[in-house]
Amino acid sequence: MTFHCGTIAVIGRPNVGKSTLLNRLIGARISITSRKPQTTRHAIRGILTTEVSQFIFIDTPGFQRRHGGALNRALNTRVEASVGEADVCLFLLAMDSLGPADREIWPIAQRARRTVIGVNRIDSPQARDHLLSFLPRVAAEFPGPDIVPISARTGRNVDELLKVLATGLPEQPAMFDADDITDRDERFLAAELVREKLFRTLGDEVPYGCIVGIDEFKIEGEMRRIHCTIYVDRDGHKAIILGRDGERMKTIVSTARRDMETLFGSKVYLNVWIKVKSGWSDDPASLRRFGLT
Ligand SMILES: Nc1nc2c(ncn2[C@@H]2O[C@H](COP(=O)(O)OP(=O)(O)OP(=O)(O)O)[C@@H](O)[C@H]2O)c(=O)[nH]1
Ligand SMILES: [Mg+2]
């Protein structure tokens, strides 16, 4: 029996559902998601192994040119590099929201060896009436690739997407063990889960100025003991994260801890500090330290 293994770069404008799809495909929450654009900052690999193939998905940051800071430039570079190394590019769109932000990405998708277009959110109430007219619009705007409508949220038609993607994987042995689900270590995943709670519980500005560093990560029997620091861009943001009487911070810590327990399958003790580190997102040394360049 022949075995196929290859890399699929998942690209698209911010917020189309790339990370939600990755988690759905892998069956675990390895990539954080939120309603806010540019939640993802790293290229995160998610691995799915079947009897006959190994899919190595690369989740990428939402591509956008609106902000021009060092962080955003680094994120865009990561998208292009991921497409460069992939066997297949999955260009993800969302139902009913085809626009300039999607068109900007098309030239990058076209550079791939093979491109497949996924149209996400077919579970949304509008999708029922518009799917049949939306798909021809997609085909006219982006001619060539196969188009597969899916719902990352419900999993609808995701099997069909896998079948189409499998045809682009080269014949070669698996690169990862069959039970690996990501190339990221638990330290990274823990920091990301804290960052997810910041994106989900805070308003529109503060989460973008935050980064999370793990100070200590110890496995003691059935317990993981994790100490981390949230670095904020401005002094005022510290109080916002804490919330009145520290209530918001308590929610952030307890929800992050619960998700870590599910992901790691163990008890977690989580201790979180907040420190001010102004200008980190425009400082190349800080970006390097947090693995962002
Ligand atoms: N209704 C519906 N919502 C979805 C679906 N997929 C994702 N979403 C929602 O869309 C929002 C963005 O999802 P993400 O997976 O974080 O999007 P992303 O493309 O990774 O975003 P960035 O990392 O910011 O580029 C979240 O609120 C998801 O719950 C879907 O199939 N249907
Ligand atoms: Mg994402």
Counting ligands in written order, the one closest to the CA of 25 is 1
Atom 32 of ligand 1, residue of closest alpha carbon? 121
Q: Which atom of ligand 1 is nearest to the CA of 150?
A: 31
Which CATH superfamily does the domain covering 186-289 fall into?
K homology (KH) domain (3.30.300.20)
- pLDDT surpasses 90 at 9: yes
Identify which of 16, 20, 90, 154 to mutate to test ligand 1's pocket (most ligand atoms within 8 A of the CB): 20
Fold matches, 4-166 and 186-289: no
Per residue in 19-45, pLDDT (tens digit) is 999 999 999 999 999 999 989 999 999
Counting ligands in written order, the one closest to the CA of 39 is 1
Per residue in 33-92, pLDDT (tens digit) is 999 998 999 999 999 999 999 999 999 999 887 766 788 888 888 899 999 999 999 999
| pLDDT number for residue 284 | 86
Residues lining ligand 1, judged by CB closer than 6 Å? 12, 14-20, 33-35, 37-40, 61-62, 120-121, 123-124, 151-153
| 34 sits in which H/E element | none
Banded pLDDT at 293 (limits 50, 70, 90): confident
What is the CATH code for 4-166?
A: 3.40.50.300
Atom 8 of ligand 1, residue of closest alpha carbon? 17
DSSP 54-114: EEEEEE-PPP--S--SHHHHHHHHHHHHHHHH-SEEEEEEETT---HHHHTTHHHHHTSSS
CA dist list (Å): 172 to 5, 77, 175, 182, 264 = 6, 28, 9, 19, 31
Q: Which atom of ligand 1 is nearest to the CA of 151?
A: 31
Between residues 256 and 132, the one the model is more confident about: 256
Per residue in 108-159, pLDDT (tens digit) is 999 999 999 999 999 998 888 888 899 999 999 999 999 999 999 999 999 9
Helix (H, G, I), strand (E, B) or coil at 160: helix
If you measure from the C-alpha of residue 61 to the centroid of ligand 1, how many angstroms do you get, rounded to a whole number? 12
Identify which of 33, 154, 193 to mutate to test ligand 1's pocket (most ligand atoms within 8 A of the CB): 33
If you measure from the C-alpha of residue 222 to the centroid of ligand 2, how many angstroms do you get, rounded to a whole number? 31
Q: Where do the structural domains in the chain lie, given as residue ranges?
A: 4-166, 186-289
Of 117, 55, 65, which Cα lies nearest the Cα of 87?
A: 55
pTM given for the model: 0.95
